[in-house]
Structure 1
Amino acid sequence: MSKFKHFLGIDVSKEYFDAVVIVDGNKEKSFHCQFDNDSKGIKSLCKWLKEQGSTYKNTLVCLEHTGMYGRLIIRNLISFKFDIWVEMSLKIIRSIGVQRGKNDKLDAERIAYYALKNVNEAIIHKAPRMEIDKIRNLLSLREKLITTKATLVRNANEFKQFDVAATKLFEKLHKNTIKGLQKDLKNIEIQLDNLIKEDQNLSKIYNQSTSVPGIGRITSLFLICYTNEFTMYSTPRQLACYAGVVPFEYTSGKSIRVRPKVHYLANKKLKKQLHMCALSAIRSDPELKHYFSRKVEEGKSKMLVINNVRNKLVHRVCACVRGNKIFEKRQVA
Structure 2
Amino acid sequence: MVSKSLPMRSEAVCTRQDDEMEAVGIDVSKKKLDVCWLRDASTVKVKSRVFNNDEAGRRALLDWLQKQTKRSPHELGVMLEATSVYHEAVAYFLYEAGVRVHVANPHHVSEFGKSLGKRSKTDKKDSIVLARFLDSRSHTEWVPEAEEVRYLKALLSRLHALDTDIQRECNRQEKAEIQQASDQVLISITKVLQTLEGERKRLEQEIDDHFDDHPGLKSDRKLLESIPGIGRVISSELTAVLRSRNFENAGQAAAFVGLVPVERQSGTSVRGRPSLSKAGSGRLRAKLYMGAVVAIRFNERIKAHYERLVAKGKSKMSALGAAMRKLVQMAYGVLAHQTSYDPQWAR
1:8 aligns with 2:15: no
Q: What residue in structure 2 maps to residue 224 of structure 1?
A: 239
Shift in CA distance, 116/174, structure 1 to aligned 2, threshold 3 Å: same
Contiguous gaps of at least 5 residues in structure 1: none
Deviations, residues 169-214 of structure 1 (Å, cap 9, x unaligned)? 4321122221111111111111111111111321222222222111
Residue in structure 1 matching 2:51, options 35, 41, 56: 35
Paired residues of 1:49 and 1:55 also in contact (CA < 8 A): no
Q: What residue in structure 2 maps to residue 84 of structure 1?
A: 101
Q: What residue in structure 2 maps to residue 153 of structure 1?
A: 170
Q: Whole-Å Cα distance in 2 between the matches of residues 58 and 81 of structure 1?
A: 9
Residue in structure 2 matching 1:181, options 196, 199, 205: 196
1:271 aligns with 2:271: no
Paired residues of 2:22 and 2:37 also in contact (CA < 8 A): yes
| Structure 1 counterpart of 2:277, one-letter code | H
TM-score by structure 2 length? 0.86
| Structure 2 counterpart of 1:273, one-letter code | K
Secondary structure of 1:321's counterpart equals: helix
Equivalent runs, 1:73-152 vs 2, <5 Å:
73-97=90-114, 98-118=117-137, 121-152=138-169
Deviations, residues 303-326 of structure 1 (Å, cap 9, x unaligned)? 122111111101111111111101
Shift in CA distance, 24/294, structure 1 to aligned 2, threshold 3 Å: closer
1:295 Cα offset (Å): 4.7
Paired residues of 1:3 and 1:58 also in contact (CA < 8 A): no
Q: What residue in structure 2 maps to residue 17 of structure 1?
A: 33
Shift in CA distance, 30/297, structure 1 to aligned 2, threshold 3 Å: closer
1:239 aligns with 2:258: no
1:296 Cα offset (Å): 4.0
Q: Whole-Å Cα distance in 1 between the matches of residues 258 and 99 of structure 2?
A: 32
1:316 aligns with 2:330: yes
| Structure 1 counterpart of 2:209, one-letter code | N
| Structure 2 counterpart of 1:310, one-letter code | M
Large movers: runs of 4+ above 6 Å: none
Residue in structure 2 matching 1:248, options 235, 255, 262: 262
Secondary structure of 1:174's counterpart equals: helix
Of 45-54 and 214-223, deviating more is: 214-223
Q: Whole-Å Cα distance in 2 between the matches of residues 264 and 46 of structure 1?
A: 36
Shift in CA distance, 41/288, structure 1 to aligned 2, threshold 3 Å: same
1:271 Cα offset (Å): 1.7
Secondary structure of 1:85's counterpart equals: strand
Q: What residue in structure 1 maps to residue 13 of structure 2?
A: none
Secondary structure of 1:8's counterpart equals: strand
Q: What residue in structure 1 maps to residue 85 of structure 2?
A: 68
Q: Whole-Å Cα distance in 1 between the matches of residues 244 and 144 of structure 2?
A: 13
Shift in CA distance, 144/37, structure 1 to aligned 2, threshold 3 Å: same
Shift in CA distance, 107/298, structure 1 to aligned 2, threshold 3 Å: closer
Paired residues of 2:26 and 2:79 also in contact (CA < 8 A): yes
Paired residues of 2:25 and 2:128 also in contact (CA < 8 A): yes
Report percent identity of matched pairs. Answer: 25
Q: What residue in structure 2 maps to residue 45 of structure 1?
A: 61
Provide the alpha-carbon RMSD of the alignment.
2.2
Q: Whole-Å Cα distance in 1 between the matches of residues 227 and 162 of structure 2?
A: 28
1:165 Cα offset (Å): 3.8
1:214 aligns with 2:229: yes
Contiguous gaps of at least 5 residues in structure 2: 1-15
Q: What residue in structure 1 maps to residue 3 of structure 2?
A: none
Shift in CA distance, 50/277, structure 1 to aligned 2, threshold 3 Å: same
1:287 Cα offset (Å): 4.2
TM-score by structure 1 length? 0.90
1:249 Cα offset (Å): 3.4
Secondary structure of 1:99's counterpart equals: coil
Paired residues of 1:95 and 1:114 also in contact (CA < 8 A): yes
